[in-house]
Structure 1
Amino acid sequence: MINKIKLILLAALFFPVLSCEDEFLERTPTDAISADDALASVDNMQLVLNGVHRGLYSQSQTVFPGGNTGRANDHYWVPMGDNLAGYLIHSANANNLGWRTNAQWNDHTVQTSLTTELLWYHRYNIILHANLLINGIAESGFTETARLNEILGQAYTYRAMAYLSLVQHYAKGYLIGNPETDPGVPLLFSSESPFTSQPRSSVQDIYDQIGSDLTDAITAFENGTGRSGSGAAAKSQLNIDVAYGIRARWALSKGDWETAAASAVAARQDYPLMNEADWLSGFNSNELSEVIWGSHVIEAETTFFRSYFYLASNTFNGSQIRNNPKIADRRLVDAIPETDYRGKVFIVDAPNTNTSAANGQGGFGNDPNYTDQAEFNARRAEINAEYGISNSFNQHPYMHFKLKNANPGTIDPDDVIYMRSSEMYLIEAEALAMMDDIPNAQIALEALVNERDSAFDVSVFNTKQTLMEQIKFQRRLELWGEGFGYTDKIRWDENIDHAADGGSGASQVLYQQAYQIDRPSINDDWIFKIPQAEINANPNLSSSDQN
């Protein structure tokens, strides 16, 4: 692989791979195992795997050497998708961890930025550890057992997930480019020195490898033990349902509609849709019935002011939230039917309490929604009481309370959800609609939306065009804040226009060049820059390989 990654990966092999005890429930510092012993037993292989689980939500330097405190991996990567797409809107000029810079498109478009470097670095570290397990199991001579297959299935799934993330960020979208010739990312199969530096493989080669890995993962899982344990901690482990879910995402992103639909159905079978109370509870726990996969963050290893909820929730007690409440696109919120309970999490009439609000309407006297200060103050107090915050938190019209801390107003850790059955219904509906199977696409969409909207009538969306527009609306609403905006817009080849149709509520002064962005097929700024350090170190890459 590349020389920079060579050094990082070599270091990772000799760095203790950290894990938690059974089901990640203990509150003591994690155990450690040396690379020399990593493949000595199935128990040790499980410790390697547990280290990768933990690496999804830990600050990168605590698990993988050479990382940086500025990113806690998927705590950042998950909401980043909606931050980039303009779904998760900043209401004020507060900055931390490059979160505003990310929203302004001044982060992923810079080859020396922390985001471009650490996303690349984190995903390749996952690939290294997956390779270590895959290669080690193949060469170990261990008797095949259900437990060994379960570990192997997770390793293949992790490698597929990491490559899908890399190719969707550092290469042109499959459906809008020429995958056979478009440069993707380097393929790495090594797990020990010497590493072989590689040039960028094509997007098609990467997609083919992902498909192969997912097939191998599903085969291994079919002969595995299934998840061990129960509750929120168990869902930190990957299983056959996660493999099917990632295959559904992979197939959807490349227009393999039949595989996408079938895989989505397979992934969601054991995860019933949430009811209204659960949907409104804050998306802070893997215990929710429809969560297929998520990280269970234990108190001893919280990331505090590096967490998903610090960046995206309006109840986390941090300056990024208190000074800059996150709002939703008012065009989306205004289109939610009154009969749809999801609309309850968006507070249209929240008073604009921040005198430094980006829209210039902060503070009583500037907020056009309130002409009586007592009414302004009373509404603020009412929202504080309902959502567990105080006057140290600013409010803003169209602010959200979809993502809420289990203990609002604190910095306590919460789980990070990666995959839900709702997403799988939406994938099935989109895939079937794209195959012109309108009746079955309607059935898939209706199964989800009837749970959310008591008056939903799918029959009115009876053409491919109207049904796809409704599927897009439902996807934006159902998955809002969960990070799918960036890859959705690339797949749909949609631009960003905060000014259109009455405006999103975002400030042009704050959003700068990101206020209006051309669609991905004509604007290569959607593609993340290859880290410059990578180009400097890899003899098979040069400045001409830069996106």
Structure 2
Amino acid sequence: MKTIQYFIAALSIGFVMTSCANDLNTVPDGDISGEQLNNDQSSPEKILGGIYLDLRSNGAGGTTLHSDFGIMAIKAGSDLMSNDVIQMKNQHLGMFYNYDATNASNSASEFVWTTFYARIFIINKLLGDLNKSGNTSNKAIKGQLLALRAYSYFYLIRFYANDYKGHQSEPGVPLVLTSNNQSQGLPRASISDVYKQIASDIEESIILLDSYARPTRAQIDQRTAKAIAAEVYLETGDYVKAGKYAEESKQGIALMTENDYTTTGFSNINNPEVLWGFHNTTSTMSIGNSYASFFSMFDNTNKGYAGAAGIYKLIDKRLYEAIPQTDYRKKVFNGAQSTAYTFNGETRNYPAYVSWKFKDPSFFEGDYIYIRASSLYYIQAEALARQGREAEARQVLYEITSKRNTAYTLSTQTGNGLINEIILQKRIELWGEGYDWFDMKRLNVPLERIYPGTNHTFGRFNLSPDKFKFQIPNKEINNNPQITQND
């Protein structure tokens, strides 16, 4: 995979950058050897810190585009491919909204691929060096590395292959697991084999991270690994494990208050629901370009691309209308008329259905939130419902929905009606957080943006779910003779 190798070399240079000491207590470093691991036990942590830092940085996918800023760019891009998130103008992340991103020649196909494979290469090298060193004191580092590899492959397989159910034997993505097979092109492993590896990595991670107390939410602990596992098993239809891990991960985590949800809770890693995220600072935001960031793109109240350039993010009219007036989550969206809105001492006029969910009072230094405990309620509820444990599913759904909407009563739905209610509440709760398109693909829900009164913009078209698949980037196709292209 010469393409991936090319990008990994370029990105390794970026590891010389300094991380915020308060976040990771590390200074991301260059490559390491087995001798260094024995002599300097901080070296693995330094490399691990570099991986975490790179996954939130401009250029994580090997480009200079302002749409390329790591995990948050990819989560945002995926939601722009759903029915629920709208972009006003065709700039920056617009390639996702109008589905140009799926083309092999599009930069988005390239940077999604490289963001994760570049990290996988580093992870494989570090895992190999840890194993060679024979030092068993680094099990927490190994656990985090395995969780990151599982997380990376989980994104890759959902972007570049069909969904799991009914397609297990079809081509997935190349399964690169050691530094020995990073120097040559590999064929695409089957979807089933990729998911088996994801499950193996995340299960081992959960064991290794037992009793690990992380210094910051920027690092993966056992609770976070279980949250990743819950989502993986929901995808593969192992509803017993999905429900089990969702319950264990969210246990003891307080839900956001109305004030958290409607003010600046989505730019603060100290939000009580945050399981995993990244605390941004002036130092971390200086890496690349501060305009190349999530809040520049999604905070319509700030002076970035969304707010100042008018590349607004809107909620789909149908979803907005499905939110009851008594549900405080409706407050983070404008209604059917343009209106003035004041935040951080500044008043602006906004179009209908605009989002005020992601508000950052700083200059793009808001924290990144990768996983919230809220997502686990919907995973557990769906997993229980699909096991036929509907009374338990309704209760889990009630626990979170009644917090958001005091008028909500325990559901009386059964069968598909209950599943649909769970998914609707999930769409409302996690709007803009990177879940809906993957659920549409998993549940075989078509893209339907043409309807009476639609408020969709330049991406106004309908698509069947078989179109929810990215082509392999041209650079990989050109440099790897063993790989095959998607239709």
Please indicate, yes or no, whether the TM-score normalized by the shorter chain is above 0.5: yes
- Contact kept? 1:17, 1:47, Cα under 8 Å: no
2:335 aligned with 1:335, yes or no? no
Match of 1:68 among 47, 64, 72: 64
What corresponds to 1:318 in structure 2?
Answer: 304
SS for the counterpart of 1:293 is strand
Matched, 1:34 2:24: no
Contact 2:160 2:469 in 1 (8 A): yes
Tell me if 1:473 matches 2:446: no
Summarize the alignment of residues 255-270 of structure 1 with structure 2, pairs less than 5 Å apart. Answer: 255-270=237-252
Alignment partners' CA distance in 2, 1:390 and 1:279:
20
1:101 Cα offset (Å)? 2.5
Match among 205, 217, 229 for residue 235 of structure 1: 217
- Indicate if the aligned counterparts of 1:18 and 1:54 stay in contact, CA closer than 8 A: no
Partner amino acid, structure 2, of 1:68: T
**Residues 415 and 255 of structure 1, relative CA distance in 2, 3 Å threshold:** same
C-alpha distance after superposition, 1:332-385 (max 9, x if no partner): 11121122111111111542xxxxxxxxxxxxxxxxxxxxxxxxxxx52xx2x3
Deviation at residue 319 of structure 1 after TM alignment: 3.8
The alignment status of 1:406 with 2:354, answered yes or no, reads no
Q: Does 1:196 align with 2:184?
A: yes
8 Å CA contact retained: 1:18, 1:47: no
User: What are the within-5 Å matches in structure 2 for residues 388-537 of structure 1?
Assistant: 388-391=345-348, 394-407=349-362, 411-461=363-413, 463-500=414-451, 502-507=452-457, 510-512=458-460, 515-518=461-464, 520=465, 523=466, 525-537=467-479
Give 3-state SS (helix, strand or coil) of 1:327's partner: strand
Q: Which of 123, 134, 145 is the equivalent residue of 2:116?
A: 123
Q: Secondary structure at the match of 1:445?
A: helix
Give SS of 2:208's match.
Answer: helix
1:254-289 deviations in Å (ceiling 9; x for gaps): 111111100101111242111111111231111000
Q: Structure 2 CA distance, aligned partners of 1:136 and 1:60?
A: 26
In structure 2, the partner of 1:365 is: none
CA distances 1:66-113 after superposition (whole Å, capped 9, x unpaired): 54343111231121121111322123xx3432x2222111222x1011
Contact 1:331 1:503 in 2 (8 A): no
Residues 10-19 or 438-447, more deviating: 10-19
- 1:288-333: CA deviations, max 9, x gaps? 0011011211212214211111222211212443323221111111
* 2:85 is the alignment partner of 1:88: yes
CA shift for structure 1 position 11: 5.3
Partner Cα distance (2:281, 2:116) in 1: 22
Q: Distance in 1 between matches of 2:181 and 2:154?
A: 25
CA contact (8 A) 2:84 2:319 kept: no
Letter in 2 for 1:457: T
Counterpart Cα distance in 2 of 1:346 and 1:167: 32
The SS at the match of 1:72 is: coil
Q: Does 1:101 align with 2:61?
A: no
- Percent identity reads 28
Task: Specify the alignment match of 1:273 in structure 2.
Answer: 255
Is 1:297 matched with 2:302?
Answer: no
Give the Cα–Cα distance (whole angstroms) in 2 for the partners of residues 141 and 5 of structure 1: 29
Q: Using a 3 Å threshold, how does the CA distance of structure 1 residues 435 and 240 change in structure 2: closer, same or farther?
A: same
Residue 449 to residue 194, structure 1, CA distance change in 2 (3 Å): closer
1:211 to 196, 199, 224: 199
**Contact 1:264 1:427 survives alignment (8 Å):** yes
Q: What is the aligned-residue RMSD (CA, Å)?
A: 2.2
Contact 2:212 2:222 in 1 (8 A): no
Q: Is the 8 A contact 1:498 1:516 kept in 2?
A: yes
Report the equivalent of 2:128: 135
Counterpart Cα distance in 2 of 1:131 and 1:96: 36
The 1:313/1:320 distance shift into structure 2, 3 A limit, reads closer
Output the amino acid matched with 2:161.
A
Q: CA deviation at 1:398?
A: 1.4
**May I ask how many residue pairs the two structures share in their alignment?**
478
In the alignment, which residue of structure 1 is the partner of 2:141?
151
Describe the shift of the 1:467–1:211 C-alpha distance in structure 2 as closer, same or farther (beyond 3 A).
same
How far apart are residue 535 of structure 1 and its match? 0.8
SS at match of 1:4: helix
Q: Which has the larger radius of gyration?
A: 1
Deviation of 1:119 (Å): 0.9
Specify the code of the residue in structure 2 equivalent to 1:315.
T
Q: Distance in 1 between matches of 2:330 and 2:442?
A: 26
**1:56: how far off?**
1.2
- Aligned partners of 2:43 and 2:237: how far apart in 1? 39
Q: Is the 8 A contact 1:88 1:312 kept in 2?
A: no
- Aligned equivalents of 2:73 and 2:377: distance in 1? 25
What 5-or-longer segments of structure 1 have no aligned partner?
Answer: 229-233, 352-378
Q: What is the SS of the residue equivalent to 2:371?
A: strand
In structure 1, C-alpha distance between the alignment counterparts of 2:347 and 2:59, rounded to whole Å: 32
CA contact 1:24–1:298 (8 Å) conserved in 2: no
In structure 2, the residue matched to 1:244 is 226
Which secondary structure does the structure 1 equivalent of 2:472 belong to?
Answer: coil
1:344 pairs, out of 331, 335, 345, with 331
